[in-house]
């Protein structure tokens, strides 16, 4: 019986060394998880059910992986990702089977899919051409190859202060009452570039002319062409602002208790600085509700508009919630998809498949999917990868212990052999 015990000990120690050796080999493997060999003692049982008080040795019961968090390492690849918390990336291999991994080293293949080194595609929620995420069944994520389409300007927002100390420039005897090329006919001006349906720039300039105390006329020109001309082509005001005596926001003539509503006007076709003819813009809404008239110099605090020119893809950024943002040369950013993660009730029930991936089993249960940062799923960090959670120092110590155990089991076999030899030599 001692031979059987010793042999089982040698076998168990050898298996333990194999597990330790695999851990050491994967100490620098991104997303790898340390494995642990588990053993149980073996006892003979009689027909009556009672067990012998002397065991038969040891038996390996399982090799389990420990899914503790690994440390993060920065990279220069924006597509590299690490999960800070629980969960797995979902991949679809070339055969269509789902795989799960903690290795976030991704790249783009020739078809535009986000894949790992083995060609498995990252799963997530796609976005439509307007940057709106499409709910429903997740699918392999792709990066766009085409640029972003231009967007015509529809709204302009101005925030500025008109100097209450400014002189009155309106002279009814002068016609026209304003000359955009003569700064003596208006008090102040500011410009903003808006965009037509082709994404061409239109320099839209606003001129402010003080008519009377607390009253200002607002004119506009597109590339120097009056926006609201009269029959003779002379500029006409697009709006008249009336300020209260304290100089705060302009008064709404219809309902003084409400803010001033936006002013709507059309922008005509013009010739821009590049010599091209721009398309007309049917309606632009100008919000001037935040203008003030204080006794301070003219100052613009904010000018915004919602149009933009066409642009080409320049960079990719992945947010902690898994949304993949594409940035374009036009300065715009739009979502192109969202990474989906999965977790399991029993992660140790997953079956290793090699290539830093696992597959689900009956023991692991069905995957529980969701977006990063929700439920039990961790958030994402872009530009980093999760290193192996193998503690190399601990593995080397365990290796020495396993080696000594192997030697001790070999010694029991040697001792039993010596005893048998003594018995054989009896006369």
Mean residue pLDDT of the chain comes to 89
pLDDT band at 161 (very low <50, low <70, confident <90, very high): very high
The helix/strand/coil state of 235 is: strand
Which positions ≥6 away from 367 have C-beta within 8 Å? 90, 98, 100, 342, 343, 344, 360
Q: Which two tokens stand for residue 26?
A: 């994967």
Mean pLDDT of 200-208: 95
Distance in angstroms (rounded) separating the CA atoms of residues 60 and 38: 6
pLDDT tens by residue, 33-54:
998 888 888 877 655 555 567 7
Which of 325, 359, 354 has its CA nearest to residue 342? Answer: 359
The helix/strand/coil state of 405 is: helix
pLDDT tens by residue, 349-379:
999 998 889 999 999 999 999 999 998 999 9
Domains in the chain: boundaries: 2-68+394-424, 72-141+317-324+331-386, 155-305
State the pLDDT at residue 411: 81
pLDDT greater than 70 at residue 427: no
Residues in the chain: 427
Q: Which of 170-184, 300-314, 397-411 has the lowest mean pLDDT?
A: 170-184
State the pLDDT at residue 52: 62
State the pLDDT at residue 154: 96
- 150 against 4, higher pLDDT: 150
Q: Estimate to the nearest angstrom the gap between the alpha carbon of 422 and the chain centroid.
A: 75
State the pLDDT at residue 158: 96
Contact 243, 257 (CB under 8 A): no
pLDDT tens by residue, 84-109:
999 999 999 988 899 999 999 999 99
State the pLDDT at residue 173: 67
State the pLDDT at residue 58: 82
CA quadruple 73, 74, 77, 83: dihedral, nearest 10: 50
Side-chain-side CA neighbours of 417 within 13 Å: the count stands at: 8
CA dihedral sign of residues 130, 136, 140, 141: positive
Superfamily name and number for 155-305 = Flagellar hook protein FlgE (2.60.98.20)
State the pLDDT at residue 49: 56
Counting residues of the chain whose pLDDT is more than 70, the rounded percentage is 96
pLDDT band at 172 (very low <50, low <70, confident <90, very high): low
pLDDT band at 409 (very low <50, low <70, confident <90, very high): confident
- 203 against 416, higher pLDDT: 203
């Amino acid at each position: 019986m001692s031979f059987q015990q010793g042999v089982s000990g040698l076998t168990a120690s050898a298996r333990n060394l194999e597990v330790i050796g695999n851990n050491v080999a994967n100490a620098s493997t991104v997303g790898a998880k340390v494995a642990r060999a588990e053993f149980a003692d073996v006892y003979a049982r009689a027909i009556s059910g009672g067990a012998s008080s002397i065991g038969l040795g040891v038996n390996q019961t399982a090799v389990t992986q420990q899914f503790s968090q690994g440390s993060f390492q920065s990279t220069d690849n924006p597509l590299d990702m690490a999960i800070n918390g629980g969960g797995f990336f979902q991949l679809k291999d070339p055969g269509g089977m789902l795989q799960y991994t903690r290795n976030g080293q991704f790249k783009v293949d020739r078809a535009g899919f986000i894949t790992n080194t083995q060609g498995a595609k990252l799963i997530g929620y796609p976005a439509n051409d307007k940057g709106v995420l499409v709910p429903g069944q997740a699918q392999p994520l792709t990066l766009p190859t085409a640029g972003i389409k231009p967007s015509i300007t529809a709204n302009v927002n101005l925030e500025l202060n008109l100097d209450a100390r400014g002189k009155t420039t309106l002279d009814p005897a002068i016609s026209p009452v304003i000359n955009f090329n003569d700064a003596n006919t208006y008090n102040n001006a500011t410009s903003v570039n808006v965009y037509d349906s082709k994404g061409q720039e239109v320099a839209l300039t606003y001129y402010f002319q003080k008519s009377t105390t607390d009253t200002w006329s607002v004119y506009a020109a597109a590339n120097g062409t009056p926006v609201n001309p009269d029959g003779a082509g002379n500029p006409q005001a697009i709006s008249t602002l009336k300020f209260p005596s304290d100089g705060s926001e302009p008064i709404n003539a219809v309902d003084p208790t409400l803010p001033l509503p936006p002013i709507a006007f059309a922008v005509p076709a013009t010739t821009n600085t590049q010599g091209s003819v721009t398309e007309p813009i049917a309606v632009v809404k100008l919000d001037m509700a935040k203008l003030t008239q204080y006794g301070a110099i003219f100052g613009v605090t904010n000018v915004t508009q919602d149009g933009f020119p066409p642009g080409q893809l320049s960079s990719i950024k992945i947010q902690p919630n898994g949304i993949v943002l594409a940035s374009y040369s036009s300065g715009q950013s739009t979502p192109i998809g969202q990474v989906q993660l999965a977790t399991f009730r029993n992660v140790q029930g997953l079956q290793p498949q090699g290539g830093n991936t696992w597959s689900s089993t009956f023991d692991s249960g069905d995957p529980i999917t969701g977006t990063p940062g929700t439920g039990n799923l961790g958030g994402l960090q872009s530009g980093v990868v999760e290193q192996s959670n193998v503690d190399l120092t601990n593995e080397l110590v365990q290796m020495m212990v396993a080696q000594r155990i192997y030697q001790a089991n070999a010694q029991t076999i040697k001792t039993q052999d010596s005893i048998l030899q003594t018995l054989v030599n009896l006369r």
